[in-house]
């Protein structure tokens, strides 16, 4: 009897110890934590895109600064009808890229005075005023693409209709040109973020050369 009671106490103790032990995190979560810890070593911003919930997290040093909701996140590969066909490679999550080039900003204002007048010092006496002219602030575009490392592209904007016919036409010409030069068409894999126009504009200035972008299955 005493043996069975001690056995019961032992098994109960083991069960309690198991319950108290922290659950082992799944491997993707560990990998993401490691990637983020690496990104957080620098003073730069980094962006985390999660599929579930669909969201872009703006972070620095592990601190969440802001988050932008995304309607849908799609990862697609563009198939060329010219040149040798290729097997689609799988993307292992979490993935990490860096921004290769800033997205174009056609609305950026560039001031270029044609000639400069000689400074006479008369401006110094000008009265100080708080009634400044209100310059119109140009809005960044709400649809744009960001070139990432490894041939990946981040496509941001409202609607998920994919590339336009004109875009596909231009791509077909580029593919044909590549094939004529004896090269396979460039691999173009896209992470497409469908989001509200205002949210796309809000993110535009954050994509600077070298900015890290992490893609995770779920926000851990």
Partner 1 sequence: MTHPVLTRGRDLARRFGESFRRRGSRLFQARPPSWWRRQALLSGAGAAVLVLALVVLATLGGGERRVRLESYHGGDAPDGDLARRAKAARAALERQKPRGVYVVVDTYDGRLRVFRGDQRLREAVCSAGSGGALVDPRSGRLWVFRTPLGERRVQRKAVDPVWVKPDWAFIEEGYAPPPLGHRDRVDTFSLGGYGLYLGDGYIIHGTIFQTLLGRRVTHGCVRLGDDDLRYVYDKVPVGARVYLY
Q: Interaction with partner 1 in 184-213: which residues (CB under 8 A)?
A: 189, 201-202, 205-206, 208
Is residue 113 within the footprint of partner 1 (CB under 8 A)?
yes
Is residue 31 within the footprint of partner 1 (CB under 8 A)?
yes
Name the one range near partner 1 by CB under 8 A: 2-10, 12-20, 126-134, 142-150: 126-134
* Backbone torsion region of residue 56, taken as left when φ is above 0, otherwise alpha when ψ lies between -120 and 50, otherwise beta: beta
Q: What minimum distance in Å lies between the beta carbon of 169 and partner 1?
A: 5
> Site size for partner 1, by CB under 8 A?
85
Strands in 189-194's sheet, in edge-to-edge order, are: 63-69, 55-60, 46-52, 212-218, 95-101, 144-148, 152-157, 189-194
Closer of 3 and 67 to partner 1 (Cβ): 67
Closer of 9 and 34 to partner 1 (Cβ): 34
Distance of CA 45 to the CA centre of its chain: 11
Q: Could you please report the per-residue DSSP string of 155-218?
A: EEES----S-HHHHHHHHHHHHHHHHTT-PPPP-EEEEEE--HHHHHHHHTT--TT-EEEEEEE
Q: What minimum distance in Å lies between the beta carbon of 206 and partner 1?
A: 6
8, 10, 14, 169: which one binds partner 1 (CB under 8 A): 169
Closer of 108 and 181 to partner 1 (Cβ): 108
Q: How far apart are CA 143 and CA 157, in angstroms?
A: 4
Q: How far apart are CA 137 and CA 3, in angstroms?
A: 81
106, 108, 181, 182: which one binds partner 1 (CB under 8 A): 108
Closer of 172 and 196 to partner 1 (Cβ): 172
Is residue 100 within the footprint of partner 1 (CB under 8 A)?
no
Q: How far apart are CA 130 and CA 181, in angstroms?
A: 61
């Amino acid at each position: 009897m005493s043996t069975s009671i001690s056995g019961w106490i032992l098994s109960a103790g083991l069960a309690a110890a198991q319950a108290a032990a922290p659950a082992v995190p799944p491997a993707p979560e560990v990998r993401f934590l490691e990637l983020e810890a690496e990104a957080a070593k620098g003073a730069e911003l980094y962006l985390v895109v999660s599929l579930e919930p669909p969201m872009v997290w703006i972070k620095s040093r592990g601190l969440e600064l802001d988050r932008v909701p995304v309607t849908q996140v799609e990862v697609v590969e563009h198939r060329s009808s010219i040149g040798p066909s290729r097997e689609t490679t799988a993307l292992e999550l979490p993935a990490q890229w860096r921004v290769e080039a800033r997205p174009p900003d056609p609305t950026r204002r560039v001031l270029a005075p044609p000639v400069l007048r000689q400074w006479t010092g008369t401006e110094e006496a000008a009265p100080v005023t708080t009634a400044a002219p209100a310059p119109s602030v140009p809005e960044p575009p709400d649809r744009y693409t960001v070139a990432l490392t490894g041939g990946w592209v981040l496509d941001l904007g409202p609607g998920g209709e994919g590339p336009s016919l004109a875009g596909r036409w231009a791509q077909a010409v580029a593919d044909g040109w590549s094939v004529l030069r004896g090269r396979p068409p460039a691999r173009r894999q896209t992470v497409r973020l469908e989001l509200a126009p205002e949210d796309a504009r809000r993110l535009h200035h954050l994509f600077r050369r070298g900015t890290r972008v992490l893609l995770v299955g779920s926000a851990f």
